[in-house]
Amino acid sequence: MTRILIVEDEIIVAMFMEDILAELGYEVAGVVSHLDEAMKRERDFDVAVLDVHLNGRNVFDFADKLTAEMVPFIFATGYGERGIPERHRGCLVLQKPFQPDDLKRALEKLVVPAPPNGAAHASGQAIST
């Protein structure tokens, strides 16, 4: 099953994303709300969803690290595309607030499509990337 890391400092939004991801059939590897924590995180995830502003710092150092390690990620930000620096233009950007479907479509562009709803626990259907 594809494991997703949520990088988000708004705890309610993070919980919401956990629920959506579970419903979509993904495994949530964890929620991280500080940049330092994100930078130190072991590679126990396949994809990351990144809030841009984390407790007063921006997430771009971590995005650089993921780019270097070839780990796919999605930005989720209130700024929309114009808050993304030149070097990360072309990355997937979700404009907050977003609908569960928007997140689903973005993830499907990055990884093998999630199994149909509710089928997540059936063995052999979810393919880890």
The residue within the footprint of another protein, chosen from 30, 67, 95, 126 (CB under 8 A), is 95
d(CA 114, CA 121): 11
Beta bridge pairs of residue 54? 57
Choices 33-41, 71-79, 108-116, 120-128 (CB under 8 A): range interacting with another protein:
71-79
Residue 16 interacting with another protein (CB under 8 A) = yes
Distances (CA, A) of 19 to 15, 57, 100: 6, 26, 10
Residue 78 interacting with another protein (CB under 8 A) = yes
Residue 85 interacting with another protein (CB under 8 A) = no
d(CA 127, CA 63): 25
Q: How many residues bind another protein (CB under 8 A)?
A: 18
Choices 36-44, 62-70, 95-103, 104-112 (CB under 8 A): range interacting with another protein:
95-103
d(CA 62, CA 129): 21
Residue 80 interacting with another protein (CB under 8 A) = yes
Looking up tokens 């930005």, which residue turns up?
Answer: 75
